[in-house]
Amino acid sequence: MGYIKKNTTNITADLLGRKDILRKVLNEVLHLLYKGIFSQFFILLIVCIFLVTGCQIFPTYKQNNVTHITLWQGVNPPSNRDVLQKLVDKFNQNHPNIQVESLYVGQSDQQMPKILAAVVGNAPPDLLWFGPTITGQLVELDALVPLDEMLSKSSVKDEIDPALFDSMKYQGKIWSIPFATNNVGIFYRPSLFKAAGIKELPRTWEEFRQVAKQLTRDRNGDNKIDQHGIFLPLGKGEFSVFVWLPFMWSGGGELAESPQEVDLVENKGAIAALKLWQNLVKDGSAILSAPERGYETDAFIAGKAAMQLTGPWTLTYISNDIKNGDFGVFPIPKNQRQATSIGGENLFLFKTTAERQKAAFEFMEYVESEQFQTEWALGTGYLPVNLKSRQSEEYQAYLEKEPTAKVFLEQAQYGRSRPIFTGYNRISANIGRAIEAVLLGKSNPDDALKDSQMRLDLIFK
């Protein structure tokens, strides 16, 4: 009994010594409960994890002079995870003293609870594959190793596309490296366009809306629509926001540089973008995804939707499923200006032990290499972040074979990055709620954005 009391006291003291981090993480947990991502049971589970693992002891993860490191990732679709595993296996074969275990831990919303619990419990992975928008949160939690010094000594730094450095930096330091990059375009089925009498791809919002109407058809004469113009993502999650943001930017809208400055009510681009999506639904031109499943391509592949907002990460997957090559890509139509969202996940290095950090950074260099980036791009459709990879004979040959990839490369010049300040997740969640309310017909764009701004004001002001 005395032993239990003594150790409970030690754990409690340790947690109290880290109360700032604990407070921040619990705030994030409560926010996720508010979003409906956590159940009360899961919160209880996380508290138990805090108590059990709060003693700040890292396992050595070294056996027989082999350093074992873990990579948490949410790579999707499954065929892309297969490509990643082959590349991880290749690294492990060539580095007998380092062994990397790649673990799929769910999509971004599913990962957040696990990441926060792992950080507070001092049991984080060595590496995390995640969107750069999480940077501010992890820096505030003092969970990451800054990469400036290690990267300055590495030859791969000069091979990284300079346009991606903004996603790597926060408060003057580099906290992550790009795993791969992409942007959002519109996949379409040429045969369905031809059947509807459409001869030119839409370049403006008005043309886009009209084309979506023309593509919405009753093909079998049963007086029911069996082909919709476009597949739109339904849900409050980050994917919906990610593919919607290009329309906001194209409409002249901006997101502020800090959460306190965000004003959705006066964001004319946000209002215009929501009205466009609302009109697509009102016209009967849009089919909505299952909640939080907007990244699935089944309806597009089956011909139930003639267009879909997605990116090059689905290129290989779609190419394999549409055997006759009946698909293409065009840039997102513009309103006031051309725009797209720059996507792709970054790799983050967590504070563990010096030995594990060194081994993990060696794997990070491998990820940035020409070899990895070329194989990853050829296997998945992602755009390489390594400049040498983009100019390699293999990749140039791939572009000739898959000209749709060129659309994403050319469109990248209009790409915009999402903010990486602390609190972006709350901005995104409330934009997502507005999108969902409008698509479901529960609110109009102005009122939906007012409701979201009211919640943001309560949080930040």
pLDDT at 28: 54
pLDDT higher than 90, residue 422: no
Reported confidence tier of residue 26, pLDDT bands at 50, 70, 90: low
- For residue 218, give the DSSP letter: -
* C-beta of residue 187 within 8 angstroms of C-beta of residue 307: yes
Domain 1-178+345-381 matches domain 183-342+418-460 at the CATH topology level: yes
Average pLDDT of 110-131? 90
- Give yes or no for residue 19 having a pLDDT over 90: no
**Is 1-178+345-381 assigned to CATH 3.40.190.10?**
yes
pLDDT of residue 54: 43
For residue 57, the model assigns a pLDDT of 41
Locate 421 and state its tokens: 């300040």
CA distance 100 to 82: 15
Nearest to 244 by CA among 423, 431, 27, 95: 431
Q: What percent of the chain has pLDDT over 90?
A: 70
What is the residue-averaged pLDDT of the chain?
Answer: 88
Phi, psi angles (nearest 5°) of residue 423: 105, -5
Interval 301-310 mean pLDDT? 97
pLDDT beyond 70 at 298:
yes
Which superfamily is assigned to 183-342+418-460 in CATH?
Periplasmic binding protein-like II (3.40.190.10)
Tokens 């709620």 sit on residue: 433
In sequence order, what are the residues at sequence separation of 6 or more whose Cβ sits closer than 8 angstroms to the Cβ of residue 101? 68, 69, 70, 71
Q: What is the pLDDT of residue 27?
A: 52
Q: 192 or 222: which carries more pLDDT confidence? A: 192
What average pLDDT does range 291-299 have in this prediction? 94
Phi, then psi, of 381 in degrees rounded to 5: 100, -10
Rg of the Cα trace of the chain?
23
Beta carbons of 450 and 271 less than 8 angstroms apart: no
Mean local confidence (pLDDT), 232-242:
94
**Angle, vertex CA 229, rays to CA 434 and CA 407, nearest 5:** 85
pTM for this one? 0.79
> What are 66's strand-pairing partners?
63
For 240-279, the pLDDT digits (tens) are 999 999 999 999 999 888 888 999 999 999 999 999 999 9
pLDDT of 18 over the 70 cut:
no
Dump pLDDT digits (tens) for 141-187: 999 999 999 999 999 999 999 889 988 999 999 999 999 999 999 99
* 194-202: Cβ within 8 A, 24+ apart: 196/306, 201/330, 202/330, 202/333
How many C-beta atoms lie closer than 10 Å to residue 397's C-beta?
Answer: 11
Does residue 338 contact residue 250 with C-beta atoms inside 8 Å?
A: yes
Question: Model confidence over 42-67: pLDDT tens digits?
Answer: 544 554 544 444 444 444 456 678 99
| Domain regions of the chain by residue span | 1-178+345-381, 183-342+418-460
Q: In angstroms, rounded to a whole number, what is the distance separating the alpha carbons of residues 33 and 40?
A: 7
Q: What is the pLDDT of residue 30?
A: 46
Using 50, 70 and 90 to split pLDDT, how confident is the model at 72?
very high
The pLDDT assigned to 421 comes to 85
Choose between 111 and 215: higher pLDDT. 215
The pLDDT score that the predictor gives to residue 147 is 97
* pLDDT interval class at 76 (50, 70, 90): confident
**For residue 408, pLDDT beyond 60:** yes
Q: Which pLDDT tens digit goes with each residue over 188-208?
A: 999 999 999 999 999 999 999
What confidence score (pLDDT) does residue 85 get? 97
Max CA-CA distance within the chain?
82
- The proportion of the chain whose per-residue pLDDT surpasses 70, expressed as a percent, equals 86
